[in-house]
């Protein structure tokens, strides 16, 4: 499927995602951080592109998502938006740009919307970010929530292990999910929690619930593009399915290119003026 062949591309909206949940159609979501890859995955028909703060890991080489700045997120998001014709583009508000106050959260969201052209923002957390969520929504900016393993809190958790296995944490997660829906979030990401809990959340909520490491009982799935394309090699969680081995493809192509240069095979007579 190449959605760009058709000139009248029907854009995905938050309302369409809701309709997809209502009729039981699963939502596809993938991260992207640059123009070229966003163009490919939008053309392939992905429903939602997340300009995730995982850019901090896979684009900038940081160990965690914490160091990435709002300016850097806006740079990535504006590159993605220029490529996209159909998908809904959701942009992560990075660590340190919404926790201080709801006013700060609103200012960060407005900068993202104005300067990148993204269509919605995502932030991590439950009751502790309620005021920020409400304030952002009051300005007409759609908000996606994110519960379960929230990588911006990695130093509080200590590990990237499965969250909400215990009843108390599972109950808090369910309460937070209902609260985010009540506030007006248009969708929710659940990361690395037991499939049974994720299924219960998706059934209890009327808004779409997108999972990553949260099993098949949710309304859609998201993966980090570099992981599912096999560009990253070291990251091998159980939930990750690799759809390609681009690391081997790119490395093989570059090795061939080097060989061709060294032995004079490139450029050929046909490849010069
Ligand atoms: O930043 C990111 O890529 C994310 C996904 C893992 C959901 O938040």
pLDDT in tens, 193-214: 999 999 999 999 999 999 999 9
Contact predicate 10/86, CB 8 Å: yes
Question: Which residues does residue 89 pair with via DSSP β-bridges, in sequence order?
Answer: 49
68 lines ligand 1 (CB under 6 A): no
pLDDT of residue 1: 54
Q: Which residue's C-alpha comes closest to atom 1 of ligand 1?
A: 52
Query: Does 35 have pLDDT greater than 70?
Result: yes
Domain 3-242 fold is: TIM Barrel (3.20.20)
Which residues have a Cβ under 8 Å from the Cβ of 243 and sit 6 or more positions away? 228, 229, 230
Tell me what percent of the residues of the chain surpass a pLDDT of 90. 96
Instruction: State the distance from the centre of ligand 1 to the C-alpha of 54, rounded, in angstroms.
Output: 6
**Could you tell me where in the chain the CATH 3.20.20.60 domains are found?**
3-242
Query: Does 144 have pLDDT greater than 60?
Result: yes
* Average pLDDT value for residue range 87-113: 98
What is the rounded CA–CA span in Å between residue 144 and residue 166?
Answer: 25
189 lines ligand 1 (CB under 6 A): yes
29 lines ligand 1 (CB under 6 A): no
Instruction: State the distance from the centre of ligand 1 to the C-alpha of 189, rounded, in angstroms.
Output: 9
Residue of 94, 124, 151 best suited for mutating to test ligand 1, as the one with most atoms within 8 Å of CB: 151
Q: Kindly report, residue by residue over 224-252, the tens digit of the pLDDT.
A: 999 999 999 989 999 999 999 999 999 99
Residue 191 known to be catalytic? yes
Closest CA to 151 of 224, 90, 241: 224
pLDDT of residue 8: 76
C-alpha separations of 131 from 105, 234, 263 in Å = 9, 38, 64
224 lines ligand 1 (CB under 6 A): yes
Among 104, 124, 175, 191, the one annotated catalytic: 191
Q: For the chain, what is the total number of helices (H) and then of strands (E)?
A: 11, 8
Query: Does 169 have pLDDT greater than 80?
Result: yes
Contact predicate 80/89, CB 8 Å: yes
Question: Which residues does residue 147 pair with via DSSP β-bridges, in sequence order?
Answer: 190
150 lines ligand 1 (CB under 6 A): no
Which residues have a Cβ under 8 Å from the Cβ of 21 and sit 6 or more positions away? 27, 206, 207, 208, 219
Q: At what angle do helices 70-83 and 35-44 cross, to 10 degrees?
A: 50
């Amino acid at each position: 499927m190449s959605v760009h062949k058709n000139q009248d591309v029907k854009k995905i909206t938050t309302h369409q995602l809701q309709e997809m949940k209502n009729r039981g159609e699963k939502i596809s979501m993938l991260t992207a951080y640059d123009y070229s890859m966003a163009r490919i995955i939008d053309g392939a028909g992905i429903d939602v592109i997340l300009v995730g703060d995982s850019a901090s890991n896979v684009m900038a080489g940081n160990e965690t998502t914490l160091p990435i700045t709002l300016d850097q997120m806006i740079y990535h998001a504006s590159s993605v938006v220029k490529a996209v014709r159909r998908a809904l583009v959701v942009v992560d508000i990075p660590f340190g740009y919404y926790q201080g106050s709801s006013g700060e959260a609103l200012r960060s969201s407005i900068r993202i919307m104005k300067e990148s052209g993204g269509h919605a923002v995502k932030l991590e957390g439950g009751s502790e970010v309620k005021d920020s969520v409400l304030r952002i929504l009051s300005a007409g900016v759609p908000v996606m929530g994110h519960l379960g393993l929230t990588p911006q809190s990695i130093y509080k958790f200590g590990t990237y292990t499965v969250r909400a296995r215990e009843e108390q944490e599972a109950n808090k997660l369910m309460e937070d999910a209902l609260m985010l829906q009540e506030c007006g979030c248009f969708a929710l990401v659940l990361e690395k929690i037991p499939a049974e809990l994720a299924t219960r959340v998706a059934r209890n909520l009327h808004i779409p619930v997108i999972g990553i490491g949260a099993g098949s009982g949710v309304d859609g799935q998201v993966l980090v593009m570099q992981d599912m394309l096999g560009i990253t090699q070291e990251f091998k969680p159980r939930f990750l399915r690799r759809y390609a081995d681009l690391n081997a493809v790119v490395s093989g192509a570059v090795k061939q290119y080097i060989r061709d240069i060294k032995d004079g095979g490139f450029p050929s007579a046909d490849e010069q003026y």
